[in-house]
């Protein structure tokens, strides 16, 4: 399975320009599958987000190709505003008949689009995708110093499961291992429909 093209289709909702919402400041954003033409923007967003994995274009590209001869499933989604990506997320699910654990491999939001609900919407969409495919748990790694991201994750039910010493580089830092039961997710934005969805994004 590739990047979930059959599950994500131009879902539109509103986010605030400056961390709060008023009718004059709402901007339309679209949650959709990541495309090959998004890769330069994804790399630029990641470069502006030191806490995010610094992948090469080929690393992102692997999420856009269907998996052949394996149960591995991958998701790559982008949030688009004003015709350009302002955030993205990628996840991997390998059903094992037991935990069916999904890993959030990366998530990043353009600095100019933060604190408007974009990151929350991306994470909720990934969790919804995982739950729809039978995942029971979702896990991720986060820098021990990235308090803002930890607050977002914990608000969606993630809890600390362990610590990986010296996992990150530049600068070297421990990673916190967080996990949650995806069956408990009630996403703001579902990605299991082929219809456009109108509604407010969470303000986080």
**Over residues 16-28, mean pLDDT:** 44
Q: How confident is the model at residue 195 (pLDDT cuts 50, 70, 90)?
A: very low
Q: Which residues fall within 8 angstroms of residue 107, CB to CB, at 6 or more apart? A: 52, 87, 88, 89, 90, 119, 122, 123, 126
Does residue 181 have a pLDDT over 80?
A: yes
Q: How far are the Cα atoms of 4, 30, 142 from residue 11, in angstroms, in the given order?
A: 14, 5, 28
Domains, the chain: 11-184 (3.40.630.30)
Do 188 and 121 touch, CB atoms closer than 8 A? yes
For residue 158, give the nearest of 136, 135, 134, 140 by alpha carbon. Answer: 140
Does residue 91 have a pLDDT over 70?
A: yes
DSSP letter for 97, please: S
Higher per-residue pLDDT: 87 or 192: 87
Q: How confident is the model at residue 191 (pLDDT cuts 50, 70, 90)?
A: very low
Give pLDDT, residue 82.
86
Question: Catalytic site residues?
Answer: 141, 153
Taking the C-alpha atoms of residue 160 and residue 49, their distance in angstroms, rounded to an integer, is 22
Does residue 8 have a pLDDT over 80?
A: no
Higher per-residue pLDDT: 202 or 92: 92
């Amino acid at each position: 399975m590739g990047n979930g093209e059959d599950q994500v289709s131009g879902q539109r909702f509103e986010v605030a320009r400056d961390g709060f919402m008023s009718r004059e400041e709402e901007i339309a954003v679209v949650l959709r599958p990541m495309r090959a033409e998004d890769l330069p923007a994804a790399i630029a967003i990641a470069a502006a987000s030191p806490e995010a994995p610094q992948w090469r274009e080929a690393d992102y590209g692997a999420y856009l190709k269907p998996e052949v001869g394996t149960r591995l499933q991958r998701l790559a989604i982008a949030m688009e505003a004003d015709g350009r990506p302002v955030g993205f997320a990628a996840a991997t699910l390998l059903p094992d008949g037991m935990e069916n654990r999904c890993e959030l491999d990366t998530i990043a939001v353009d600095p100019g689009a933060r604190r408007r609900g974009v990151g929350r919407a991306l994470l909720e969409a990934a969790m919804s995708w995982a739950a729809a495919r039978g995942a029971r748990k979702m896990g991720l790694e986060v820098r021990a110093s990235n308090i803002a991201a930890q607050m977002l994750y914990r608000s969606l039910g993630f809890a600390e499961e362990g610590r990986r010493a010296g996992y990150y580089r530049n600068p070297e830092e421990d990673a916190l291992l967080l996990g949650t039961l995806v069956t408990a997710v009630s996403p703001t934005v579902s990605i299991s429909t082929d219809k456009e969805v109108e509604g407010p994004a969470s303000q986080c």
